[in-house]
Amino acid sequence: MEQTIENPMLPQLTVDDIFVNEGPGTQTATFVINIDSPAAKAITGSFEVREGFSSAVTGEDFQAGSGIFTIPVGETNTTVEVNIFDDFIPEESEFFQLVLSDLTNAQFLNSGGRDTPASIVAIGTIQEPIPENDPFVFLTVDDITVYEPASLRPHVTEFLVVRNGATTELITGQFEMLEDTASVETDFFAASGIFSILPSQKTYDTVRIEVRVIGDGLPEDMETFQLKLFNVVNAQFADGKDTLLATANVIDADSESIDDDSNPVSLDAHIVNVQRGVVSSAAGNDTYVLSSFVVDSNARITITDNQGTNEIQLFGGLGVTNSIIASDTARLDLSNGAQVTILGASSFNYEISGDPLAGIPGTINNYTNFVVNILGSSIPQTGTNSGDAITINADGTASAGTSGSTGGGTAGPNDDILIAQRGVVSKAAGDDTYVLSLSTVDDNAKITISDSQGANTVQLFEGLSIASSIVASDTALLTLTNGAEITVLSASSFTYETSGNPLAGTSGQTNGYTNFVTGILGTIVPNAGEAPANGGAVIINADGSASTASENQRSFLRTQDNQIQEGDIELIQAPTAPDLMLG
């Protein structure tokens, strides 16, 4: 369009449109106001930063404002700066306007359209950062547990494949279902095909792969089948291999676990120690635990869960250096450099202090009380507020300042801490720790621990009460006083840590398989081909030793166990240390 000059004797003033990336944190957008020759007289005018078409929202996306700009004598430009806020929401580009008017000693170089002789408009575009193709975009998929249908009508269940890392490329791959102890056409329907995940600027995304489970009407033990992913393009699997396997644990409908009050134990309830990346347990009432000793240093963590009644538990000693609070999103900056973003924050409860491994509850707050009483701030209707630097106290309160340990996980990115609750518990890649506590193992659960990769540990929490044990040369069966049975496959490849608390950063006593069987279980490891040996009833002590449990002690401990009934706890870490997962 033809430009219009009103007075050729006056300098001509222009301002260009700009683009700015949203986040992380508050960014600055800078408009440059130019004239075509040095000012002979000081040039002044008014400016207003306001919402425009397809608008960014004042207070949420940018800071509106108005004022006077000046170009001094002899200068050719000045600037107007605008604060751009990170709303933590992946979205399309948004726009705002800079309007200049009331100009003296210069004239606008009018381009028509949105400009007039008395004013000129520049557009600011807020855009999500466009990622490079991340060479470390990787896929993960978790094991699942499902009830076998009581009728012959198939039940549809699904595996959730998670993409970690933004990408501009379409991700594709193949999948198929494999028999294990469950059989095709008898226990589940065969399925295979191609899956895809669309390009996205979000740091994670998911795709669901469905499978139909068949009810055969026969009482039976748990059966398993597997999902195999392979031939992936534009991503890699988390363990660096060419294929990725996940297990479906099929529980017979007639074998449902029952607690002492005849209430079904929810198979969707898990305790998961969150260390890194995107953390979401989905189904069930879940608890996500943040501890200075398990959250990876400098991790970037996102917690999201829109199913069930969920909690975020802040373990005693956790240091929060800063928090950014929106109406339904919160970000906690921890003293070890980790950043924890909570999506749908108003739907969570917040448990302050307490210890899930010891069965000790903390103080429960809703989102409003958490923000006001713990973070020392308030929830804004629009935009964001900042919270104080605090440390979580053991009594469920918070103190000013980050006096707690900076902490931070020290293990590698594939090293996880898994808290065993039920079913098959196996992490594969990495040096993993499997934690057994009477406060978290389901009553009457049937648990199998299996891990043939890395240097792995079974950790027995203080107070764990073992009613009996059966020991073979490379397999061990521990029967707990709450009726749970734990089978450790390839038992001689594990080390055994008695007592200690990973949430509190304390270590227990470590033994090889032979010393564990002899010193803790009180029996011997038989040679291959020999009959299994039987161990007695023992309780794990705080010092890592074991005491013989009397019948009265076992009865008391079982009464204490029955007070812990349901709920998933996910402990939060980040991209460089072990995850604690109750599975």
Question: HEC profile for 518-556?
Answer: HHHHCCCCCCCCCCCEEECCEEECCCCCEEECCHHHHHH
Average pLDDT of 473-483? 89
Residue 552 has pLDDT above 50, yes or no: no
Tokens in use for 107? 């004239």
pLDDT-derived band at 562, boundaries 50, 70, 90: very low
Who has greater pLDDT, 30 or 92? 30
Identify the CATH number of the domain defined by range 131-256.
2.60.40.2030
pLDDT at 579: 33
- Looking at residues 119-128, what average pLDDT do you find? 83
Closest CA to 331 of 384, 268, 392: 384
Asked which of 3-12, 257-266, 400-409 is least confident by mean pLDDT, the reply is 257-266
Longest Cα pair distance anywhere in the chain, in angstroms? Answer: 106
Candidates 488, 424, 413, 479; CA nearest to 457 is 488
- Band the pLDDT of 408: cuts 50, 70, 90: very low
Give the DSSP per-residue string, 135-161.
TT-EEEE--EEEEPPSSSS-EEEEEEE
| Domain 12-127, CATH number (from 3.40.50.720, 3.40.30.10, 2.60.40.2030, 1.10.260.40) | 2.60.40.2030
Residues linked to residue 31 through DSSP beta bridges, in sequence order: 80
pLDDT band of residue 241 (cuts 50, 70, 90) is: confident
Q: Which distant-in-sequence residues (6+ apart) come within 8 Å of 142 by Cβ?
A: 159, 160, 246
**Least trusted range by pLDDT, from 62-71, 248-257, 475-484:** 248-257
pLDDT of residue 554: 42
Whether 480 contacts 468, CB under 8 Å = no
Looking at residue 175, its pLDDT comes to 93
Query: What is the pLDDT at residue 518?
Result: 93
Mean pLDDT of 203-217: 77
| Amino acid 484: pLDDT | 87
pLDDT for the residue numbered 356: 84
Q: Rounded CA gap, 539 and 548, in Å?
A: 6
Q: Where in the chain is the domain with CATH 2.60.40.2030?
A: 12-127, 131-256
Task: Work out the percent of the chain whose per-residue pLDDT is above 90.
Answer: 20
- Whole-angstrom Cα distance, residue 161 to residue 121? 46
What residues have CB less than 8 Å from 327, skipping those under 6 apart?
Answer: 346, 379, 380, 381, 382
**Calpha distance 460→496 (Å, rounded):** 7
Q: Is the pLDDT of residue 230 over 90?
A: yes
pLDDT at 296 over 90: no
Between 8 and 264, the higher pLDDT residue? 8
Q: Residue 442, exposed/middle/buried by CB under 10 A (0-12, 13-18, 19+)?
A: buried
Lowest mean pLDDT among 21-25, 133-137, 181-185, 284-288: 133-137
Distance (Å) of CA 401 to CA 323, 388, 393: 13, 8, 11
- Report the Cα–Cα distance between both ends of the chain, in Å, rounded: 65
What are the tens digits of pLDDT across the range 100-110? 999 999 888 76
Helix ranges, 305-381 (H): 367-369
Tell me the DSSP string of 275-307.
BSEEE---SS-EEEEE-TTTSBTT-EEEE---S
**For residue 450, what pLDDT is reported?**
83
pTM of the model: 0.52
pLDDT digit string, tens, across residues 565-581 = 333 334 443 333 333 33
Structure tokens at 23: 């986040």
Query: Residue 219: pLDDT above 50?
Result: yes
Predicted confidence at residue 77, as pLDDT, reads: 93
Looking at residue 354, its amino acid is G
The answer on pLDDT for 394 being more than 80 is yes
Look at residue 506 in the predicted model and tell me its pLDDT: 87
Segment 410-418 mean pLDDT: 57
d(CA 561, CA 540): 15
pLDDT digits (tens, 9 = 90+) for 320-344: 998 999 888 899 988 888 888 888 8
User: Six-digit token pair at 428?
Assistant: 């594969």
- Asked if residues 488 and 476 have their Cβ atoms less than 8 Å apart, the reply is yes
**Is 468 within 8 Å of 492 (Cβ atoms)?**
no
Q: Find the length of the chain.
A: 583
Least confident segment among 35-44, 134-143, 459-468, 486-495: 134-143
Please give the pLDDT value at position 375: 92
Is residue 375 within 8 A of residue 337, CB to CB? The reply is no
Residue 498 pLDDT greater than 90, yes or no? yes
d(CA 293, CA 357): 14
Question: What integer pLDDT is reported at residue 118 of this predicted model?
Answer: 81
Higher pLDDT, 538 or 358: 538
Residue 513 has pLDDT above 90, yes or no: yes
What distance lies between CA 339 and its chain's CA centroid? 11
Q: Tokens in use for 539?
A: 């309780």
Instruction: Write out the DSSP string of 65-116.
Output: EEEEEEE-TT--EEEEEEEE---S-----EEEEEEEEEEESSEE-B-STT-B
What pLDDT score does 568 carry?
A: 39
pLDDT of 259: 37
Q: What is the mean pLDDT of the chain?
A: 78
Residue found under tokens 């404002």: 65
- DSSP label at residue 255: G
DSSP assignment string, 448-507: EE---SS--EEEE-TT-EEEEEEE-SSEEEEEETTS-EEEEETGGG-EEEES-BTTTTB-
